[in-house]
Structure 1
Amino acid sequence: MELTTLDIPYLLFMATIGVYMLLLVFILTWVYHDAEQRGLNGWVIAGMAFFTGTIFGTLAWLLLRPKMKPQPIPVRS
């Protein structure tokens, strides 16, 4: 019976993949919500950010996104 040893490089690799996946989800979620707030389809913008490379796509969105339209404040009289 052989004792299993900790495979440190494998654990580091898996931890790196896990952190990358968490950052990917966080960034794409932010892009989705930001696009929705600006009146655009969030799924399309998040998909474009994902498929153009997450970093490049997110930077492109930050540079090219439309200005946020001011929301009227309802006033009760």
Structure 2
Amino acid sequence: MSTTLVESWSGAELDALGPIYPMVGTEVMLLIAGLIFWLAYHVLQYGIEKKEMEEDETAARSAERLQRVFEEEARE
């Protein structure tokens, strides 16, 4: 199966062939889309982790949790 008009690569003048891969000219658009998705991932991940951290801090500051910690410290 051949995807180009080239029968043999030996002796082929690559300058005369031009681009031999699909979707030529979309490299910049794909790069920009990739950067947008990458940045969006980090922004969303930051929000998720911040929410989880705040929940953990709230749970750690609860009166029940503090009482348990003080009781464990007193036993030692």
TM range (shorter): 0.3 to 0.5
Bigger relative contact order, structure 1 or 2 (CA pairs below 8 A, ≥6 apart): 1
Q: Which is greater in Rg? A: 2
TM-score (structure 2 length as normaliser) = 0.46
TM-score (norm 1): 0.45
